[in-house]
Structure 1
Amino acid sequence: MIDLTEIRARHPQHIPQAWASRTRRDLLGDDGRLLIVAADHPARGALGVRGDSLAMGSRRDLLDRLAVALSRPGVDGVLGTADILDDLLLMGALDGKVVFGSMNRGGLQGASFEFDDRFTGHTADEIAAAGMDGGKMLTRICLDDPGSLATIQATAQAVDALAARRLVAMIEPFWSERDATTGAIKHRFDAESTIKSIAVASGLGATSAYTWLKLPVVDELERVMESTTLPSLLLGGDPQGDPDDTYDSWGEALKLNAVRGLIVGRALLYPPNGDVAGAVDIAAGLVHP
């Protein structure tokens, strides 16, 4: 691997120059589907995978895994924060790839203010200036936490700002609550809650022309997807069970018309058997059969 710290210390101007000269591609290929690798978890302090709370703690190991994933056929691009995307850019891993910038990372994992998920990452201006394809925003909807309202409002503003630049606004909505005993945030993964979260997210902003959704794989997904006409990508999460069961659920979900692909991070970057390329190839075969 090139010495990224040396480049950053001596030649920080290489980063905006590299964004300006990066080879781009169309958002969608002939099959209209996307496989995006997610790498924005660390900025929220969410470094755990399965039982290892610091699995993503080594940046060079994470970058190595991302480089392998992005090199595999059928992987369309990546979603990440500026620090990770800039590193991948300097490594030459973003040429010809779709790139989404992660916009709100202020709701740190486990914080008392987690629902007040401030926009501390990419802005619409920087996403456009760098030639990225869009921005992603996590939008957790909690009826009992006023911080959720600030996040919803900021999401609506980001939708408008991205649409004005003809860039995708990728909203990741969850109907959520805080456990009264532990204080931990819980997402509700039943069909009714997911449908309600989709309804709220879909109505944010003055236009939905460039709005996409990032949604969990839940029971009764066919019923859930009937609640929207917005193109949607399914998230992979941090699966705890048999990977084959996860792949089977993805395969069934991808048969639905509104589902246009997957955004997967930990499940592909940290598979139980350690074979990143193998896990990515299975996902790519499901998305681009």
Structure 2
Amino acid sequence: MRAADPAGIGRALAERKRREVIRGDGRLFIVAADHPARGAVAVGADPTAMADRYELLERMALAVSRPGVDGVLGTPDIIDDLAALGLLDDKIVVGSMNRGGLRGASFEMDDRYTAYDVEAMVRQGIDFAKTLIRVDLNDAGTAATLEATARAVNAAAAAGLPIMLEPFMSNRVDGRVVNDLSADAVILSTAIASGLGNSSAYTWMKLPVVPEMERVMAATTMPTLLLGGDNGGDPDETFASWAEALALPGVRGLTVGRTLLYPHDGDVAAAVDTAARLVHTDL
């Protein structure tokens, strides 16, 4: 299609059946696959798990076919592939915006907006925007990311487009960027992200599940989706922690990628179904 009829991708996006972002029980379950565009193709101990695009698309296709999956999160290449395959009908499409902070790069904290912008998302019928905000108080590149994110929040609010912010307090350990997953750090990152832009009306949070999650959720009045992170831990413990956090006020659902797309036992459908039942308890 890209070679012979590139306009077909735009038509597929324009003609897909759209849905309201919030409906039914008001909760959302989004499957994410925006990691490769930032140079992050590892899952657990496998450094190239997400490198095979055909396998990734096969796993995404299986995931979105399962009951209770409300939508997908991806960069334009992923979303275009899924649209061309006709897999986005009645799904929320979340566009990932800043992928310039490449994993392992000296400029990783200067996380530039190299994927979607708000104008393109509105034009293409994308339903939701997503940004990553890693704050390293020792790296000046953070300032540019914060400024760019504030502009993205402004543009999204002006367009009436919901935008989820994924904030972390981060630092370099042996040259590698590591996110601080203590409750105090997540609370601080949430406070910083919450104030970005000239309106918070359309702002959501995308937060990790950490110890003392009650304190974290007390730090924001914004609707929040929980992220899954890598799949290095015990699956049963991970699902249990999600279930506990999903019961907290303000939590609206899950946005999870690698943990469900590349589960330890390889059973994508079972992993997705388990998560879907945690979000939508009537399934």
C-alpha offsets along residues 199-244 of structure 1, whole Å, 9 cap, x if unaligned? Answer: 0100000000000000000110001100000000000011212101
SS at match of 1:110: coil
* Aligned counterpart for 1:146 among listed residues 140, 147, 152: 140
Does the alignment pair 1:73 with 2:67? Answer: yes
Which one of 111, 117, 121 corresponds to residue 123 of structure 1?
Answer: 117
CA distance in 1, matches of 2:136, 2:201: 26
Tell me the SS of whatever aligns to 1:137.
strand
Q: 2:59 is matched by which residue type in structure 1?
A: R
Q: CA offset at residue 108 of structure 1?
A: 0.3
CA distance in 2, matches of 1:89, 1:148: 34
- Which residue of structure 2 lines up, in the alignment, with residue 217 of structure 1? 209
1:14 maps to 2:4: no
Q: Does 1:239 align with 2:242?
A: no
Report what 1:36 is aligned to: 30
Consecutive unaligned residues in structure 1, runs of 5 or more: 1-6
Contact 1:45 1:108 in 2 (8 A): yes
Q: Which moved more, 1:115-124 or 1:125-134?
A: 125-134
Is residue 231–residue 263 contact of structure 2 (8 Å, CA) maintained in 1? no
Partner secondary structure for residue 106 of structure 2: coil
Cα deviations by residue, 1:117-154 (Å, 9 ceiling, x for unpaired): 00000010011011111211100011110100000000
Q: Which amino acid aligns with 1:176?
A: S
For residue 17 of structure 1, report the CA deviation from its aligned partner: 1.1
Following the alignment from structure 1 to structure 2, what is the Cα–Cα distance between the partners of residues 176 and 124? 26
Aligned counterparts of 1:140 and 1:242: Cα–Cα separation in 2:
26
CA contact (8 A) 1:189 1:218 kept: yes
Query: 2:196 — aligned with what?
Result: 204
- The letter for the 1-side match of 2:22 is L
Amino acid corresponding to residue 25 of structure 1 in structure 2: R
Point out 4+ residue stretches in structure 1 off by more than 3 angstroms.
none
Matched residue, 2:153: 159
> What is the RMSD of the two structures over their aligned residues, measured on CA atoms?
0.6
> How many Å apart are 1:29 and its aligned residue?
1.7
Name the amino acid aligned to 1:29. Answer: R
Q: Could you tell me how far apart the structure 1 residues matched to 2:178 and 2:70 are?
A: 31
Q: 1:219, 1:232 → 2: CA distance?
A: 16
Aligned: 1:62 with 2:66: no
The one-letter amino acid of 2:250's match is A
Alignment-derived partner of residue 245 in structure 2: 253
Aligned residues with identical type, % of pairs: 59
Aligned to 2:280: 288
Q: Residue type matched to 1:51 in 2?
A: A
Paired residues of 1:134 and 1:162 also in contact (CA < 8 A): no
What is the alpha-carbon distance in structure 1 between the residues aligned to residue 226 and residue 124 of structure 2? 26
How far apart, in 2, do the equivalents of 1:60 and 1:250 lie?
Answer: 29
AA at the equivalent of 2:85: M
Amino acid at match of 1:28: I
Q: CA deviation at 1:167?
A: 0.5
Of residues 185, 190, 204, the one that matches 2:182 is: 190
Return the TM-score normalized by structure 2.
0.98
Relative to the length of structure 1, the TM-score reads: 0.96
Structure 2: runs of 5 or more not aligned: none
1:271 corresponds to:
263
Q: Classify the secondary structure of the residue corresponding to 1:9.
A: coil
Structure 1 match to 2:76? 82
Partner AA of 2:159 in structure 1 = R
Q: What secondary structure sits across from 2:60 in the alignment?
A: helix
Pair 1:92-2:86 in alignment: yes
Deviation at 1:169, TM superposition (A): 1.2
Amino acid at match of 1:68: L
SS of the equivalent of 1:286 reads helix
For 1:288 and 1:264, how far apart are their aligned partners in 2?
15
